[in-house]
Structure 1
Amino acid sequence: MINWYPVFLKEMLQFKRKLLRLGYIFSAMMSPIIYLVTFGLGLGRTVRLSEGIDYLTFLLPGLVAMSSMNNSYSWVASSLNLSRLYFKTFQVYIQSPIKPSSIMIGEVMAGMVKGLFASLLIIAVGFVVPSSFAITLIFVITLLLNCFMFASLGVITGMITKSHEDTATYSNFFIMPMAFFSGTFFSIDRIPMIFKPIIYVMPLTHTNILIRKNFLDMEAIVSLFVIVFYCFCFFLIGSILMKKYNE
């Protein structure tokens, strides 16, 4: 069961090298801060929510969910794609005496760390700006599940893409729409009824619902089960793709 650790350690050593560059930290914070300033501190002053909270308090958990999604997914998808198609280092994993499930766990754990790092940067900003932003147990559990879910999805993308450009294509068609239409910047209650079935299929929608809850009501329980279901499915599919890998 510890065979996943060398895979995880290799990714963390590469990640450590990036952390030593100030440019990387600023780049990781840039997009969320732009969204925070534009929507939260700019337009947010004119927005009134039916939930009875200020817009900045509503926005910050959504930005945390979005950042954890983007970083957990993109790091794993890009890393696997490059190591599989260009550097040919992924083939070393396959030929080594490590089970595909162990490779899967190592990649997903590494993706989770990168997603959590980006989320912590937003959380730190959230405690600086004037808002009622707070961290609850549900918030922490949701964040961990969200990182796991999208890191597993990143493995799937990294395994099925045929070129590095395909990774960006999948991101544009799936990740970017989720970032904007899954309740990150505005409540999904405002979305026309005809589009809601599509919105509720998106995994990030349920993350945004659950991460803003202070207690487990029926809506939160349903979203929790949906997220766990997606986690199981994405992890299982990623493991199968690794097991059947032949290139």
Structure 2
Amino acid sequence: MKRWIAFWNIVRKDMRTYYLKPPNVSWGIIFPLAWTGMFFIRSGSGPEKIATLLPGVVAVSILFGTTSMLAVTITFEKKSRSFERLLLAPIPFELLMLAKTGGAIVFGSANAFVPVIMAAFLTDLSGVAWHIFVPAVLLIAMASTFLGLFIAVAVSEVFEAQTFSNFFRFPMIFLCGLFFPIARLPVFLKPVAYALPLTYGVDVLHGTVHGTHHMSFALDLLILGAFCLVLFAASLWNIRRKWIY
């Protein structure tokens, strides 16, 4: 019980210190709205096409929301040495890192529903398979957060983490099936696309919103879960190698 109390206190501290600050709250709302408006205006789409655009906007909002916040929180606390003080807490290291990433997962998941709420005023979303959509959002947020953690651990400055994040984020956006189907990619890029976690998240979101998906929901979610485990384990290994030992 004491471990979970410590877990909750770490998450609450991070939420209060970083994620619930007015600039971050406003950015978390404005960024998804800006992406949503940009896609809607660019395509000249009416309500009938919003379902086609919504999965991509949700995925991009999660990806940028989680990785951007982890780049700040982890690198800042490492530089200020407050992270080292946390390591002294009587809590397992794995649970500690889950607590440190919990705020980003919540923040990214909340970002995802800003365009959903906006779209709900413009079109009928009653056909969305919410029982699959919500777990997919959570898994995408977790995979993106652990990717952000892996990146943040690899650098020492916030600006380095943001730059390094873009090295992964922008290719991921263009290769995961958001703008055009993976089938239309050059042959040598298709293996790269299927090596990206966002590819499977986008496939689930497309399937739940408008019924177009290439793999079964169970397989997509299973692969997303595997990405979460691998990225989290790789981040823990990197933290132990670079920051502890």
- One fold, TM greater than 0.5? yes
Cα RMSD, aligned residues only: 2.6
Equivalent positions of 1:84-233 (< 5 A) are 84-85=78-79, 87-130=80-123, 132=125, 134=128, 136-214=130-208, 218-233=215-230
Distance (Å, rounded) in 2 between the aligned partners of 1:164 and 1:220: 36
Any unmatched runs of 5+ in structure 2?
none
Could you report, residue by residue, the CA deviation over 1:59-106 in whole angstroms, capped at 9, with x for unpaired residues? Answer: 112211221121122212320001101x22111112333321121110
Query: Given residue 54 of structure 2, which amino acid in structure 1 is its aligned partner?
Result: L
Distance (Å, rounded) in 2 between the aligned partners of 1:191 and 1:116: 29
| Secondary structure class of the residue paired with 1:69 | helix
Distance (Å, rounded) in 1 between the aligned partners of 2:34 and 2:16: 29
Percent identity among equivalent residues? 22
Distance (Å, rounded) in 1 between the aligned partners of 2:83 and 2:137: 28
Q: 1:187 to 1:25 in 2, by over 3 A?
A: farther
Could you report, residue by residue, the CA deviation over 1:98-136 in whole angstroms, capped at 9, with x for unpaired residues? Answer: 321121110121111111121121221121223657352
Instruction: State the 1:137 CA deviation.
Output: 1.0
Say whether the 8 Å CA contact 1:107–1:155 is kept in structure 2: no
Any unmatched runs of 5+ in structure 1?
47-52
Query: Given residue 112 of structure 1, which amino acid in structure 2 is its aligned partner?
Result: I
Q: TM-score, normalised by structure 1?
A: 0.84
Which residue in the other structure is 1:76 paired with?
A: 70
Could you report, residue by residue, the CA deviation over 1:16-38 in whole angstroms, capped at 9, with x for unpaired residues? Answer: 641xx3x5444323343333233
Query: Given residue 95 of structure 1, which amino acid in structure 2 is its aligned partner?
Result: L
Q: TM-score, normalised by structure 2?
A: 0.84
Distance (Å, rounded) in 2 between the aligned partners of 1:190 and 1:220: 22
Q: How many residues end up aligned between the 2 structures? A: 237
Q: 1:27 to 1:17 in 2, by over 3 A?
A: closer
